[in-house]
Chains A and B, each alone.
Chain A
Amino acid sequence: MKKTVLDYTLKFRLPLILFIAAAAFVVTFYISRAERDGVGYKPLQPINYSHKLHAGEMGIDCQYCHVGVTKGRHALVPSVNICMNCHSVARKDKPEIIKLTKYYEEGNPIPWKRIHKVPEYAYFNHSVHVNKGIDCESCHGNVREMEEVSQIKPFTMTACLDCHRNPQEKLPYLKNVKVGPENCAACHR
C-alpha cells in the first residue's frame, strides 16, 4: 500500500501540531501564571524607599505609616506629612530625602506605583481582617525583608476563598478562628 500525503498528514503532521500547540499552551499557562496573578511584580517607585530599613532594621510598626489599616477599607499609603515627621530632621542630605522634601514643599503628591490590587468589583476591607487578628504578612509576605516591595501572593478570588475556607490551616497562629464568609455579597455589591 502506497503511503499518500494524506496518510502522512493524518498520522504525523496533525498529531504533532496538536501536541506542540497543546504543550505550548500548558507550558505557557503554568509559566506565566505568576505573572498573570501579579506575583513577583516589583515596579520602580518614584522614591527609592526601603521597607527593609524602616520596618525591618528600625522596627517601625506598620501602622505608624499605614494608619487606615484598622480603621477602614484602605490601609493607606502614608501621606507625605507622615514621612516628614522624621525627615524634616533625619537624613536631610540624602538624594532620596531631597526628592521627598521637594514633593512635600511643592505640595505635589507622590505617584507611588500600585503593587497589590484586588479586582475592582471586589470590595476588600483591611480593617475587618486586621481587627480579627490576621497579620499583614499573611497576604503581603515578609515586607521587613524587602528592599523593594514586590507582590508575594496572588490576589485572586481563589486565593481569597482558599483562606476563607481553611483559615485554621492558612492562619495557624490564630486560635479559634472561624471560617470567613463565602457568600457573594461579602465581597461583591
Chain B
Amino acid sequence: MSLKKTVEKKDFWKNLKEYYNDPAVLKAKANEFADGVTDEFNPDTLNTVSRRRFIALLSASAAFAATACSDYQDKGEIIPYTKRPEGVLPGKPNFYATIVNGKSVLVRVREGRPINIEGNPDHPIYMGKIDAQSPAVLLNLYDPERLKEPYKKKRKIDWEKADSEILDLLGEAVVKNKEIAIITDRIASPATLKLINNFKEKFPTTKWYSYQSSGDENKRIAWQSSYGSRNVPSIKLDKAQIILSLESDFLGREGNTIENTRLFTQRKDVMNSNNFNRLYSVEGAMSLTGINSDYRIRLRADAQLEFVLSLLNEIVLKKNVQQITLTASIKSLISKYQLKNFINKYKLDSIKINYLVDDLVKYQGQSIVLAGEILPVDVHSAVIMLNEVLGNSALYDYNSVNLDFHPMSTSDELKGLVSSASKGNIGVLINFGINPIFNMPKELGLEEAFQKIPNTISIVESENETSDKSTYTLAASNELESWGDNYVRSDIYELQQPLIAPIFNTRQKENILLTWINGSAEAYSMDAIHHFVMENFKDIYNLQNSPVDFKSYWYNALHDGFVKVIPSAQIKYSFNQSSFDKISSTETTSEYLVQLQKSYFIGDGKFANNGWLQEIPHPVSKVAWDNYAALSPNSAKELGVENNDYVKVVVNGKFLEIPVMLQPGMADKLLSIELGYGRTVIGDAGKNSGFNAVVLMSGTEVSNYLLTNAAVTKPGGSYKLVSTQEHHPLDDNSVKDFHKIRKIIQEGTVEEYKKNSKFLHEDEHNLIGITREHKYEGVKWGMSIDLNKCTSCASCVTSCNVENNIPVVGKDQVANGREMHWIRIDRYYSGTPDDPEVSGQPMLCQHCDNAPCENVCPVNATNHSPDGLNQMAYNRCVGTRYCANNCPYKVRRFNFYNFRDHFADAYYENELTSLVNNPEVTVRSRGVMEKCTFCVQRIMEARETAIAEGRELKGSDVKTACQSACPADAIVFGDTNDKESKISKYREHELGYHVLEELYVKPNVTYLAKLRNTHSEEA
C-alpha cells in the first residue's frame, strides 16, 4: 500500500489519557495554557504597593529627580587590568581544552571565567560533540552551596591544621597496624592511580576500595572470563547493518553515548538511504535506545538469558551458523532452549523474532548484539558467544580499546571493610570524592560502620550523606579548577587543565593526597599536582618517539586536550569457550521484577543539586525533578493504581514507597526505577526530589540491578510527578477532521521511500498567504532537523540552557507549565499502549517568514529581521503574552517571575551563580516574553569576524549551540539563500516538511521525515 495512507492513518497520541480520549484532556487542549499556568498570579500578592500608589510614588520621585537634575548621571567606572595577561582581551572569549565529566571538551572562557562547555572538535571520538550532562557542570562550579573551606566536626579548620592532624592520624594507624581504607569511584586517570599507589607505599596499611552504583562492571567480568581481558574493544557501530540491543541503552544511559550516537546515526543518513542500519531493541523498560529502534520487542530483563540461549539454539542448531566451532557441552546446553517455546512462553511477536533471526543470519559479521549494563554477567557471556557464533567479532575495534585499570570491589571485599570497621581494625577511612553511604546498598551497613571508625575523612565538592557523617570534610575543587589526565581508550590520552583558580579555599582532591604522601602540611602548593601530572605524562612522551622536546610536547598536548597514542600492536583476543559452561538459566517467576537503572541526567546523585539537569525532562516519560516506578498500563490496572499513586515495593525484606508512572511499552510485571534520586543531605536545588531506590539493592551482589520476586502493593496515597509533555498539546485529535492533514510528525519506511521518493508531498497544493512577504537579500537563516538522526538525547537542551542563560524554574513551576527551555523534545506515541511506536521531535522557534506572533504584538517587540530571524526585543516587551497565544508551535516562554529570584528562595540569585551567565545574552527579568533566537549572539560574533576580515558573512560561519552539541549531527543551520549550502540541500530534500505547513506561516525549520527500516511486507 502507498505510504501516504499509513501516514495518515496514524493517530499520534501524547499520553495515555489522550489515547483514551479523556474529556479533561480534550478540554485542556482547547486552552492555550494548561490549568494552573496562570493561577497564583495575583498581582496583589506580589507586592504590597498598589499600582495607584506605585504611580504616585513614581511621579513623586520623578519630580524629585527633576529638581535634583542639576548634574550628570554617574556612569560608574571602567577598571582595566593592571597587567593584562597575554592572550586575554576583555570581551573576547578564549577556548581551552580540558576534561569535564570524563569527556574531552572545549571550554569557552570570558575574562577568566568559564561560561560554556562544548565538545572538543579535534578529538577523534567526540568530534566537537557533547552529551546532555557535561555542559551543566558549570552550574556545579558556581553552586552557591559548594563547600568553601575544610571542616572538622562541622567546625571550620584551616588546611594546615587539618593536614597535620590527618598526617598524625595516618602515621598512627600505620604504627598501630590499623587499616587505612580509601574508597574511590572508578578511576581512569593514570596520574591518580599512581598517586593511590604512592599513597599505599607511604602508608602500607592502606587498602583501596572502589564502588559505583551503576556501570559496566558485569560486562568487564564477562570479558575477563571469555577473553582474559577486562579491556573491552570498542565497537565499529557504523559498520553494523543490524544492531540487536538487549536492554542496552547504548544511545542513552550507558557510557560512550557521544560516539555511539554519532556512529549509529551515520547509518541513518537520508542522503544515502541504501545504507540504513536496522536496530532491534529487546527490553522491558522503555529506554532512549528503545524509542529509536526499528523493531522493539517487550521482554523482561530476567528472561534475557533464556532469550539469548534460545537465539543461539535457533542460529547454531537450526540454521547451522557456526563461525566458530562450538564444543559439544555447549551444544547440549543450548539444545535445551527452543526459540519457538520461548516465543510462546512470553507471548512474543513471532514475526518480529523471525525477522530478527533472519537478519542476524543474513548479516553475519556485519551485525552486533549489545547487552545492557544492568544485565548479569551470564547474559554478557552468552552475548559474547552469540557475537562469536555470528562472526560479529569482526566489528570489535582492537585499535581503540576501552581500558580498565582496576576491577571494582566485590561485595565480599566491601563486607570485609564493614566487618573490620566494626571490629575496630580501621584507623582512618578516606572517602575520595564520592558518596558511598548514599550509593552503597544499605544492607552492607556502611553507615553504622562509619560510627565505629575513629577518623573518617571525606574529600568532596559539596556536603553529601557521607561527608555529613565524616570527622573531616575537606573541600575539594571543581573539575574546572583541577589538573588531571584520563586514559579511557587505548589510542587516546587526554589531559585536564584548570580554567579558573579555585574560587574558594578549596584544594584539588589529588593534591590533598599528594600533600599527605609528601608527609608534611607545609608541602602543599597549588602547583604540586600540576608538576605531578606533567611528570607522569613523561611516561607517555617516552613511548611516542616524538621529535620535539618534552615541554613542547606537553604544551601541544595541553592545547589539544589529548594526544594520539601509537597503540602497541593489538592482537585479537582469543575466545575461551569454557567460560560458557558455567552458565545456567534460572526460571523466571511470575512475581514482579524491579529493575534499577542509572538516571539519564543526574548520574548517581552527583548532579542532584544541579537545577539545569534536574529540569531536563526524562527522554521518554518527560518527567522532571523526580524519579518514579515505571509500570505498564496492564500491570497498573491489575494493581489498581494510576499515575502518581504510590506503590509499596518489597524485595527481600527491604521496602520502598514510590509513585508510579504508567509507561506505554513496558513489559508487564516490571518496575523500572532510576537511581540517584532521594538525596537527603543536599543543597536547596535538589531537596525533596525523588526517592532513593538504593534501599532496595542487595548487599550480597553489588552489581545486581535486577531484583526478582518483588511484592508490589498499593498502600494508598499519591504524590505529584510533573512532566512537560502534557503542557503543550499540539492539538490534533480535538479537530477530528483536520488531524489527518495536520502533519506534525510524518514518517515512512525505507522500502517505500525507495519505491516512491516523493511520497510526502503528493497531495500538496498551493497555499495563499495574507501577510506581506519579506524580501531576503544576503544571508537568510534556516535550520533543518533530521528526525532520522535525532535520538531525543537532550544534548541540545542543555547546550541551549548554558548558552542562552535559561533559568531554572523549579518543580512547582514546571507543574504549572512555566518551564523556560527554548528547545524542547516532543515525544509522540502511536499504535497501542502495549506496543507503541515512538516519535521524537525537537521543537523550537520556527522563525516563520509569516510569523503569526509578530502581527499581534501591540508594541512591536517581536518582528522580523532582514536575515529571516524572528527577533525579540526584550526591553520593548510589555508582557501581554498575545504572541504566545498566537504561536501555533507553543515555543514562546513567558517570565512569570524573575525565576532566578523566585526559584528556591533566590537560590541562583547571588554573586557567584551570576558568573555562569553568558555575557553576550541578556538575562531576562519578570514580565518579558522570550524564545529561541537562533543564537543571534553567535551570528553577530561571526559577522564581526567577517567584517574584520573584510568579507561577506557566510552561512557556514555560524553554528548554533544546539547544532554544535548534537552528537547525531541531526541539526543543520545555515544560509538558505546559498543554494550550494548543506542547509539548502536538506530544505529541498524530498523528505523535508514543515510542521503545520498548511497554516502558511512558512517556518524556517525544516524537518526530515523519519524512515523506519522495517521489512516491506509489513507496510
The answer, among A71, A115, A123, A188, for a CB contact under 8 Å with B75, is A115
Chain B 67-96: CB-based contact to A (< 8 A → 1; otherwise 0): 001011111111111111000011110000
Q: Does B57 contact A (CB under 8 A)?
A: no
Q: Which of A70, A109, A185 has the most CB of B within 10 A?
A: A185
CB pair B875 A74 closer than 8 Å:
no
Chain A residues near B83: list those with CB within 8 A: 79-81, 104, 107
Q: Does A159 contact B (CB under 8 A)?
A: no
Residues in B865-909 with C-beta less than 8 Å from chain A? 865-867, 869, 871-876
Main secondary structure of the interface of A (DSSP, over half): loop
Q: Which of B33-41, B512-520, B632-640, B944-952 contacts A (4 or more CB under 8 A)?
A: B944-952
CB pair B89 A72 closer than 8 Å:
yes
Chain B 829-873: CB-based contact to A (< 8 A → 1; otherwise 0): 000000000000000000000000000000000011111010111
Q: Does A67 contact B (CB under 8 A)?
A: yes
Known: A38-B73, A41-B72, A80-B83. A185 touches B78 (CB 8 A): no
CB pair B871 A71 closer than 8 Å:
no
The answer, among A28, A109, A128, A131, for a CB contact under 8 Å with B81, is A109
CB pair B947 A127 closer than 8 Å:
yes
CB pair B72 A81 closer than 8 Å:
no
Q: How many A-B residue pairs have CB under 8 A?
A: 138
CB pair B79 A111 closer than 8 Å:
yes
CB pair B866 A183 closer than 8 Å:
yes
Of all chain A residues, the one with the shortest Cβ separation from B933 is A189
What is the interface size of chain B, counting residues whose CB is below 8 A from a CB of the partner?
A: 44
Separation of A189 and B941 alpha carbons in the complex (Å) = 12
Chain B 911-934: CB-based contact to A (< 8 A → 1; otherwise 0): 000000000111000000000010
Q: Does A113 contact B (CB under 8 A)?
A: yes
Separation of A110 and B83 alpha carbons in the complex (Å) = 11
Chain B residues near A115: list those with CB within 8 A: 75
CB pair A189 B920 closer than 8 Å:
yes
Chain B residues near A76: list those with CB within 8 A: 80, 89-91
Main secondary structure of the interface of B (DSSP, over half): loop
Known: A79-B83, A112-B79, A189-B921. A131 touches B950 (CB 8 A): yes
Chain B residues near A68: list those with CB within 8 A: 89-92
Shortest distance in angstroms between A72's beta carbon and chain B's nearest beta carbon? 4
Residues in A41-63 with C-beta less than 8 Å from chain B? 41, 43
Shortest distance in angstroms between B65's beta carbon and chain A's nearest beta carbon? 11
Shortest distance in angstroms between B81's beta carbon and chain A's nearest beta carbon? 4
The answer, among B75, B871, B943, B948, for a CB contact under 8 Å with A114, is B75
The answer, among B76, B78, B872, B944, for a CB contact under 8 Å with A127, is B944
CB pair B922 A121 closer than 8 Å:
yes
Q: Does A73 contact B (CB under 8 A)?
A: yes
Q: Does A78 contact B (CB under 8 A)?
A: yes
Chain A residues near B81: list those with CB within 8 A: 79-81, 109
CB pair A112 B80 closer than 8 Å:
yes
Chain B residues near A74: list those with CB within 8 A: 90-91
Known: A68-B89, A72-B91, A188-B873. A38 touches B80 (CB 8 A): no
Q: Does B521 contact A (CB under 8 A)?
A: no
Of all chain A residues, the one with the shortest Cβ separation from B66 is A28
Q: Does A132 contact B (CB under 8 A)?
A: yes
CB pair B80 A77 closer than 8 Å:
yes
CB pair A185 B865 closer than 8 Å:
yes
Shortest distance in angstroms between B149's beta carbon and chain A's nearest beta carbon? 25
Of all chain A residues, the one with the shortest Cβ separation from B93 is A72
Chain A 120-141: CB-based contact to B (< 8 A → 1; otherwise 0): 0101010110011000000000
Known: A125-B944, A184-B871. A113 touches B77 (CB 8 A): yes
Separation of A21 and B958 alpha carbons in the complex (Å) = 55
Q: Does A103 contact B (CB under 8 A)?
A: yes
CB pair A128 B75 closer than 8 Å:
no
Shortest distance in angstroms between B548's beta carbon and chain A's nearest beta carbon? 30
Q: Does B127 contact A (CB under 8 A)?
A: no
Separation of A92 and B78 alpha carbons in the complex (Å) = 25
Chain B residues near A104: list those with CB within 8 A: 82-83
Known: A38-B75, A189-B936. A128 touches B947 (CB 8 A): yes
CB pair B77 A111 closer than 8 Å:
yes
Chain B residues near A43: list those with CB within 8 A: 72, 74
Q: Does A32 contact B (CB under 8 A)?
A: yes
What is the interface size of chain A, counting residues whose CB is below 8 A from a CB of the partner?
A: 49
Separation of A71 and B945 alpha carbons in the complex (Å) = 9
Known: A121-B874, A188-B873. A77 touches B866 (CB 8 A): no
Shortest distance in angstroms between A50's beta carbon and chain B's nearest beta carbon? 18
Of all chain B residues, the one with the shortest Cβ separation from A125 is B944
Q: Which of B72, B866, B921 has the most CB of A within 10 A?
A: B72
Chain A residues near B84: list those with CB within 8 A: 79, 81-82
Separation of A40 and B937 alpha carbons in the complex (Å) = 33
Shortest distance in angstroms between A73's beta carbon and chain B's nearest beta carbon? 4
CB pair A189 B82 closer than 8 Å:
no
Separation of A184 and B81 alpha carbons in the complex (Å) = 33
Separation of A188 and B860 alpha carbons in the complex (Å) = 14
Shortest distance in angstroms between A30's beta carbon and chain B's nearest beta carbon? 13
CB pair B80 A35 closer than 8 Å:
no
Q: Does B940 contact A (CB under 8 A)?
A: yes
Shortest distance in angstroms between B780's beta carbon and chain A's nearest beta carbon? 13
CB pair B77 A184 closer than 8 Å:
no
Separation of A43 and B72 alpha carbons in the complex (Å) = 9
Separation of A182 and B590 alpha carbons in the complex (Å) = 70
Of all chain B residues, the one with the shortest Cβ separation from A151 is B72
Chain B residues near A132: list those with CB within 8 A: 947
Q: Does A176 contact B (CB under 8 A)?
A: no
- Contacts A107-B83, A128-B948 known; list 17 others, CB within 8 Å: A35-B72, A38-B72, A72-B91, A76-B80, A77-B78, A79-B82, A81-B81, A82-B84, A104-B83, A111-B77, A114-B78, A127-B948, A183-B865, A184-B865, A185-B940, A186-B865, A189-B933
Sample 22 A-B pairs with CB under 8 A, ordered by A number. A35-B72, A38-B72, A41-B75, A68-B89, A68-B92, A70-B948, A78-B80, A79-B82, A108-B82, A109-B80, A111-B77, A113-B75, A113-B77, A114-B76, A117-B75, A127-B948, A132-B947, A184-B865, A185-B936, A186-B865, A188-B874, A189-B937
Residues of chain A touching chain B, judged by Cβ–Cβ distance below 8 Å, are 28, 32, 35-36, 38, 40-41, 43, 67-68, 70-74, 76-82, 103-104, 107-117, 121, 123, 125, 127-128, 131-132, 181, 183-186, 188-189
Residues of chain B touching chain A, judged by Cβ–Cβ distance below 8 Å, are 66, 69, 71-84, 89-92, 863-867, 869, 871-876, 920-922, 933, 936-937, 940, 943-944, 947-948, 950
Shortest 10 CB-CB contacts between residues of A and residues of B? A79-B84, A183-B865, A79-B81, A73-B91, A185-B871, A74-B91, A184-B873, A114-B75, A72-B91, A121-B875
